Chain A
Amino acid sequence: MEAAVERSETQEVMDESLFERATDQNGLEAEHLVRPCLTYWQDAWIRLRKNKVAILSIGILALYVAMSIVGPHMVSFEYKSIDEMNMDKAPSALHWFGTDTLGRDLWARVWVGARVSLAIGFLAATLNAFIGVCIGGVSGHFGGRVDMAIMRLIDVVSGIPYLIVAILVMVALGAGIAPLIIAMILIGWVSMARLVRGQVLQLKNQEYVLAARKLGASDTRIIFRHLIPNTMGLILTNLTMAVPYAIFTEAFLSYIGLGVQPPNASWGLLARYGSQNFRFAAWQLFIPSFFICTTMLSLYLLGDGLRDALDPKLRR
């Protein structure tokens, strides 16, 4: 307390006019901060913006999301209206993506299907990843008995046939997209948890973790500020893999009658029905597959860009 009083007195004595501001060779103030103070995410965004490929990927994904809203209204055909005179018609000026076996317009069906597929792909995959990262991080960081218990729980969960889980969730909550996502989360988080736990085991003996611990950082802080950002590359890669997995799990469940029901559609389901006719109506397979592929490609390249942007080791 006394020291503080003393200091304020000396400050009063020393007038600012007595000092000359130091400048470097360029005439800039030397005391000026080199760069503004940024949070982890601001910094990541600045670096991501410079990556043209990643921005293009965001553009494509945004386009697909926008088209899933307006796409079905751009043609005069309803996605569920059956036309017996125009079955299995190839793409033309009338039907831009052709028609399916029941004469339904594929353009409308592809964009209606995009709603289901994108929602399930993104929601199920990100929620899975979030749960998996938290559990895997905790398991790897604490190790010992906690790790053993969590890993054996993961063994049990991944041993339960997912059809049983899906059916039980549908029985309890009814068919639909939300129960489908819940069922996929109940079984889907394990692979991410396993991967993150393996990475954390490898990283937790590194010097920066030791340094953080000696500085008194809490376990939560070590896991979420030090260990997880350093596994971001793998997490993002696995996340982009989880999206197509979610899309096709939905397709399989819908195909056997759990989940999305006809006349509703999804990309995976369209590809699945298309694959049965591809010898004479190849577009029914290739058009939905094209959208799944380009979504995956965009996600992958975006993930690659995010990896570079989020990696704390590359931070400047």
Chain B
Amino acid sequence: MVRYILKRFLISLVTLLGLVTAVFFLVRMMPGDPFLSDKLTPEIRENMLRYWGFDRPLHVQYLHYLGNLIRGDLGISMHYNSVPINRLIADAFPQSADLGIRALMLAVVMGTTLGIVSALNRGRWLDYACILVAIIGVSLPDFIMGYLLQFVFGLKLKLLPIALWKGFKYTILPTIALSFYTTALLTRIMRASMLEVVHQDFIKVAKAKGLSTFQIVWRHQIRNAILPVVTLLGPITAAILTGTFVIESIYAVPGMGKYYVLGIQNLDYSQILGLTVFYGAFLVMANFAVDIVYGFIDPRIRVDRRERGA
């Protein structure tokens, strides 16, 4: 197992390198460059490009970037008055992660519970109620859900603050808005998975053994049905914790979400790359964790082939 984890870790690093390489060259293929502004005279533009090293061959720039990356330096923003990307992330990530963890916990608890309740009551009104929540959750995307919650709870009922990030009360609305899609997704996946499992032989065996319904559902059905939820948790965790553009801008949360979109709009090469590396590292590590967790949850799965042969 230790050997497997070590090997898997090395492969994760290679994956990250692949991602950095892909994004580095894709970004350079985009039309324009960071210094396309009417205010800059051609001479200044020329100087800027030389100052940032864009006059050197692309592969030299690439190796230079990799060299910095190994030392943990994500470069300097070309747009925000030369702020280091490391500081940009260090300032914005805590808020995004804080909001993200709240939303993720809410979504996992709500999603799996609703999915289980709905599957156990299939075809009855409780099932349809859960489906309706899930349908509304995906049919009203974050930008609409965000505005609606703000309008109802903030403006009409005046129960909660509309925006800003200054304490627990301020976190409630963005947390709900952010978790809605994930809740809906997990509800539906959990429901489908529960229904898939219910016809399996081991459930019949458990029934034949005379186990109580609670034991069958808890020990056999849910444990076998949770796998697809775990699969999706890897990418979902990475996406939610590293900030979202829409929710953070609606509720004025000082997080990372806006930098993704602004970075691309301004064609700030180092900002795009830095954020991609950060998000990519998160994603690769989350999927790494999911692969390890797989084996613990479901003994039928052995990710490593040699282990199964033994």
Contact = CB atoms under 8 A, between A and B. Distances in A.
B279 A296 contact: no
A285 B265 CA distance: 27
Given A155-B287, A233-B195, A164 B30 contact: yes
Interface stretch (A62-70, A71-79, A218-226, A237-245): A237-245
Nearest to B17: A156
Contacts of A155: 15, 19, 280, 283-284, 287
Interface in A129-159: 143-144, 148, 151-152, 155-156, 158-159
B192 interface: yes
Contacts of A307: 192, 195
A202 B300 contact: yes
Dominant secondary structure at the A interface? helix
Interface in A237-261: 237-238, 240-241, 244-245, 248, 251, 256
B9 to A, nearest CB: 12
A86 interface: no
Greatest chain B CB density within 10 A among A171, A198, A231, A238 is at A198
B189 A237 contact: yes
A202 B227 CA distance: 9
Nearest to B146: A275
B270 interface: no
A159 B199 contact: no
Given A155-B283, A164-B272, A194 B196 contact: no
A61 interface: no
A156 B18 contact: yes
Interface majority SS on B: helix, strand, loop or mixed?
A: helix
A289 interface: yes
Contacts of B11: 148, 152
A144 B283 contact: no
B196 A233 contact: yes
Nearest to B139: A293
Interface size class of B (residues with CB under 8 A): 35 or more
Given A152-B14, A194-B232, A275 B143 contact: yes
By size class, the interface of chain A is 35 or more
A271 interface: yes
Which residue, A237, A285, A293, A297, has most C-beta atoms of chain B within 10 A?
A: A237
Contacts of B272: 161, 164
A201 B15 contact: no
A313 B287 CA distance: 31
B131 interface: yes
Nearest to B21: A156
A171 B303 CA distance: 41
A179 B138 CA distance: 25
A124 interface: no
A195 B144 contact: no
A168 B29 CA distance: 8
B85 to A, nearest CB: 15
Interface string B180-193: 00001100110111
B23 A293 contact: no
A242 to B, nearest CB: 10
Interface string B285-308: 001000000100010110101000
B235 A158 contact: yes
A86 B235 CA distance: 47
A266 interface: no
Given A198-B231, A237-B189, A307-B192, A278 B151 contact: yes
A159 B300 contact: no
A241 B228 contact: no
A241 B143 contact: no
A152 B15 CA distance: 6
A289 B199 contact: no
A256 B264 CA distance: 12
Interface string A160-179: 11011101100100000000
A191 B232 contact: yes
B140 interface: yes
Contacts of B31: 171
Q: Which interface residue of B15, B189, B192 has the most chain A CB atoms within 10 A? A: B192
Interface string B122-151: 000000000100111011110110011001
A289 B139 CA distance: 7
A79 to B, nearest CB: 22
Interface in B232-258: 232, 234-235
Contacts of B131: 300
5 residue pairs, one from A and one from B, having the closest CB atoms: A198-B231, A159-B280, A237-B192, A293-B139, A159-B19
25 contacts: A152-B14, A155-B287, A160-B19, A163-B264, A164-B23, A164-B26, A164-B27, A171-B30, A195-B189, A198-B227, A198-B294, A199-B227, A201-B303, A202-B301, A234-B196, A237-B191, A251-B141, A256-B261, A271-B141, A272-B143, A278-B148, A289-B139, A289-B144, A293-B136, A296-B139
